[in-house]
């Protein structure tokens, strides 16, 4: 007797969305409401945004003949949390002009904007596009922002790890042009191509999917709590390969006993040239074996739990067509950020700043947002957001390091 399997509601929604388009464009153009329909809310997540409403004012609004105070949260895709000063300044301005004036640094090493009204979605995303940023796949049933240890000590190793994060992020990016058509006014091209989403297909993943890259001894990205992690194995200042862990995740649903936190399993080692392939195939195993009937059971950790770590590795190797090497030794020593100045092996300086709650904003006692924007105007290196929601002003040259040139300390030095 066959048992009828009922897919979760998001599955047919994805299938019928014409690759994440749905009716989003029309609904965003509808000026009568600041909201979008429930189905579109699910689709909008794939484009990096969530609809919210201000609960504090819910009560008064109906009487005032106003709908709820809707706005969107926008999450930027920023592999490894590394941004140029121009990108920082771009986001700084967008936060003021279209959002609530705060740049929120998230645990996935990216900026999050709050309070963007529907009418400003396109303007915000177009302004992001001007500084080469996007929010594709920052939320939704896809590979999310790939995060990476913000290690300020070893510049070459960090560069390699960042490079891998970027490659994975690009490789696993959805190929649908929906985002470009809806938000960047790209003309829709009728494609005869069968494979619009060669990796994802029409149904994308069963649930969100998170990848990180760690560089021991720092475990600031918390590899045990991610779907898939790459732990850099460093020999003689070079990354020789990565240990692979799968199936971590701390979330659980209160009152649902079949949900639980799970630490990731270490399943092997790969050389750097195969890391992107492994990332792809892990994701494909989850695509094909993840639970699509119950969204509370659909994260990779439940798939690994069901298949067991060995079973999962076997399936993965079948997809890969080769075997993983045995895992190498590594040691984690810390997972927090170390604040203050550090000089790396190449002589560049890095300043890690504590950002309370990840909120970069101006308050009367601490004009942090203005301060960092002022730094961004002169800074020639980069900014790195950490998975602990702090900020590294990275790659400051000797000449630019404030103490070294006799100039007064900039405002941000007080966070040392």
Partner 1 sequence: MIHFPDYAPLGDDQKKQLSLSLGSLSPEQLAWVSGFIAGSGNANQLVSADAGSTASVSSASQSITVLYGTESGNSEALASQLVSQAKQKGYRPQLLNMADATLASLGESERLLVVVSTWGDGEPPESSEAFYNELMEGELALGGVEFSVCALGDTSYDLFCQTGKDIDARLEKLGAKRVVDRVDCDLEFDEAFAGWSHSVWTEFGAGAAVAAPSALQQSQQLVFDKKNPFPAEVIENQLLSSSRSAKETYHIELSLEGSGFDYQPGDVLGVIPRNSDDVVTAFLKASGLDGSTEVEHHVIGKMPLVNALTTELDITGLSRKVAASWQQICGSEELAELLAPESKEKFKEWSFGRQIIDLLEFYPAKTLKPQQLVDILRKLPVRLYSIASSFKAHPGEVHMTVAAVRYNTHDKTRKGVASTFLADDAPKGSKVSVYTHHNKNFRLPDSNDTPIIMVGPGTGIAPFRAFIEERSAAQAKGNSWLFFGDQHYNEDFLYQLEWQEHMKNGALSRIDVAFSRDQPEKVYVQHKLAEHGKDIWQWLQNGAHFYVCGDATYMAKDVNQTLIDIIAAQGEMSQEEAEAYVAALKKDKRYQRDVY
Please confirm whether the linkage preceding 158 is cis (ω < 30° from 0): no
Judged by CB under 8 A, the stretch of 114-122, 219-227, 348-356, 407-415 that binds partner 1 is 114-122
* Cα→Cα distances 193→105, 182, 273, Å: 38, 20, 29
Q: What's the closest the beta carbon of residue 89 comes to partner 1, in angstroms?
A: 15
Q: Closer to partner 1 at the Cβ: 66 or 240? A: 66
Q: What's the closest the beta carbon of residue 35 comes to partner 1, in angstroms?
A: 10
Within 13 A of 15's CA, how many CA atoms are on the CB side?
8
Judged by CB under 8 A, the stretch of 113-121, 239-247, 374-382, 389-397 that binds partner 1 is 113-121
Q: What's the closest the beta carbon of residue 409 comes to partner 1, in angstroms?
A: 32
Q: Closer to partner 1 at the Cβ: 101 or 201? A: 101
Measure the CA–CA gap between 165 and 216, rounded to whole angstroms: 16
Q: Closer to partner 1 at the Cβ: 5 or 31? A: 31
Q: What's the closest the beta carbon of residue 39 comes to partner 1, in angstroms?
A: 18
* Cα→Cα distances 35→67, 118, 121, Å: 9, 7, 12
Scored b (16 or more CB within 10 A) or e, 47-68 reads bbbbbeeeeeeeeeeeeeeeeb
Q: What's the closest the beta carbon of residue 99 comes to partner 1, in angstroms?
A: 11
Q: What's the closest the beta carbon of residue 129 comes to partner 1, in angstroms?
A: 16
Scored b (16 or more CB within 10 A) or e, 236-265 reads eeebebbbbbbbbbeeeeeeeeebeebebb
Choice from 1, 5, 31, 236 touching partner 1 (CB under 8 A): 31
Measure the CA–CA gap between 34 and 70, rounded to whole angstroms: 6
Q: Closer to partner 1 at the Cβ: 98 or 204? A: 98
Q: Closer to partner 1 at the Cβ: 117 or 324? A: 117
Q: CB–CB of 50/139 below 8 Å? A: yes
Q: What are phi and psi of 337, to 5 degrees?
A: -95, 150
Choice from 123, 263, 343, 366 touching partner 1 (CB under 8 A): 123
Choice from 9, 16, 26, 33 touching partner 1 (CB under 8 A): 33
Measure the CA–CA gap between 301 and 15, rounded to whole angstroms: 24
Q: What's the closest the beta carbon of residue 62 comes to partner 1, in angstroms?
A: 7
The neighbour count for residue 78, using CB atoms within 10 Å, is: 28
Q: What's the closest the beta carbon of residue 27 comes to partner 1, in angstroms?
A: 13
Contacts of residue 236, defined as CB under 8 A and 6 or more positions apart, other chains included, come to none
Q: Closer to partner 1 at the Cβ: 65 or 254? A: 65
Length of the chain, in residues = 416
Choice from 117, 173, 196, 413 touching partner 1 (CB under 8 A): 117
Q: CB–CB of 393/378 below 8 Å? A: no
Q: Which residues pair with 229 in a beta bridge?
A: 212, 245
Q: CB–CB of 178/20 below 8 Å? A: yes
For partner 1, the binding residues in 284-343 under the rule CB under 8 A are none
Q: What's the closest the beta carbon of residue 117 comes to partner 1, in angstroms?
A: 5
How many residues in the shown chain lie near partner 1 by CB under 8 A? 23
The neighbour count for residue 281, using CB atoms within 10 Å, is: 19
Measure the CA–CA gap between 30 and 202, rounded to whole angstroms: 27
Judged by CB under 8 A, the stretch of 32-40, 133-141, 210-218, 331-339 that binds partner 1 is 32-40
Site string for partner 1, 49-88 (x = CB under 8 A): -----x--x--xxxxxxxx-xxx-----------------
Q: Closer to partner 1 at the Cβ: 65 or 346? A: 65
Judged by CB under 8 A, the stretch of 27-35, 42-50, 163-171, 265-273 that binds partner 1 is 27-35
Q: Closer to partner 1 at the Cβ: 16 or 126? A: 126
Measure the CA–CA gap between 238 and 250, rounded to whole angstroms: 32
Q: Closer to partner 1 at the Cβ: 35 or 389? A: 35
Choice from 9, 26, 38, 119 touching partner 1 (CB under 8 A): 119
Choice from 26, 97, 398, 403 touching partner 1 (CB under 8 A): 97
Q: Closer to partner 1 at the Cβ: 49 or 178? A: 49
Measure the CA–CA gap between 345 and 347, rounded to whole angstroms: 6
Q: What's the closest the beta carbon of residue 189 comes to partner 1, in angstroms?
A: 24
Binding site for partner 1 (CB under 8 A): 31-34, 54, 57, 60-67, 69-71, 97-98, 117, 119-120, 123
């Amino acid at each position: 007797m066959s048992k009828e399997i009922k897919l979760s509601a998001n599955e047919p929604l994805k299938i019928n969305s014409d690759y994440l388009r749905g009716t989003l464009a029309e609904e965003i153009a509808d000026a009568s409401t600041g909201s979008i329909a429930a189905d579109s809310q699910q689709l909008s997540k794939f484009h990096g945004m969530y609809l919210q409403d201000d609960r504090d004012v819910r009560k008064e609004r109906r009487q005032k003949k106003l709908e709820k105070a809707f706005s969107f949260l926008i999450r930027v895709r920023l592999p490894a949390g590394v941004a140029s000063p121009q990108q920082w300044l771009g986001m700084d301005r967008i936060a003021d002009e279209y959002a609530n004036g705060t740049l929120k640094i998230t645990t996935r090493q990216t900026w999050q904007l709050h309070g963007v009204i529907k009418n400003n979605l396109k303007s915000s995303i177009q302004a992001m596009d001007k500084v080469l940023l996007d929010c594709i796949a920052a939320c939704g049933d896809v590979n999310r922002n790939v995060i990476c240890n913000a290690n300020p000590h070893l510049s070459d190793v960090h560069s390699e790890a960042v490079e891998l994060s970027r490659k994975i992020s690009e490789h696993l990016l959805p190929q649908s042009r929906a985002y470009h058509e809806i938000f960047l006014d790209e003309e829709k091209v009728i494609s005869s191509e069968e494979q619009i989403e060669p990796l994802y297909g029409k149904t994308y993943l069963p649930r969100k999917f998170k990848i990180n890259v760690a560089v021991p001894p720092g475990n600031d990205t918390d590899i045990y709590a991610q779907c898939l992690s790459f732990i850099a194995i460093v020999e003689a200042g070079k990354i020789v390969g990565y240990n692979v862990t799968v199936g971590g995740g701390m979330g659980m649903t209160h009152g649902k006993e079949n949900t639980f936190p799970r630490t990731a399993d270490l399943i092997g080692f790969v050389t750097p040239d195969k890391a992107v392939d492994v990332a792809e195939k892990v994701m494909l195993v989850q695509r094909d074996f993840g639970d699509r009937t119950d969204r509370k059971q659909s994260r990779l950790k439940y798939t690994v739990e069901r298949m067991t770590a060995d079973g999962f590795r076997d399936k993965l190797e079948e997809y890969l067509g080769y075997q993983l090497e045995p895992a190498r030794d590594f040691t984690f020593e810390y997972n927090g950020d170390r604040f203050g100045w550090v000089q790396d092996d190449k002589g560049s300086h890095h300043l890690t700043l504590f950002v309370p709650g990840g909120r970069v904003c101006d308050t009367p006692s601490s004009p942090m947002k203005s301060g960092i924007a002022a730094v961004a105007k002169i800074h020639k290196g980069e900014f790195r957001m950490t998975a602990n929601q702090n900020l590294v002003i990275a790659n400051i040259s000797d000449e630019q390091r404030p103490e070294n040139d006799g100039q007064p300390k900039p405002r941000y030095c007080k966070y040392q």
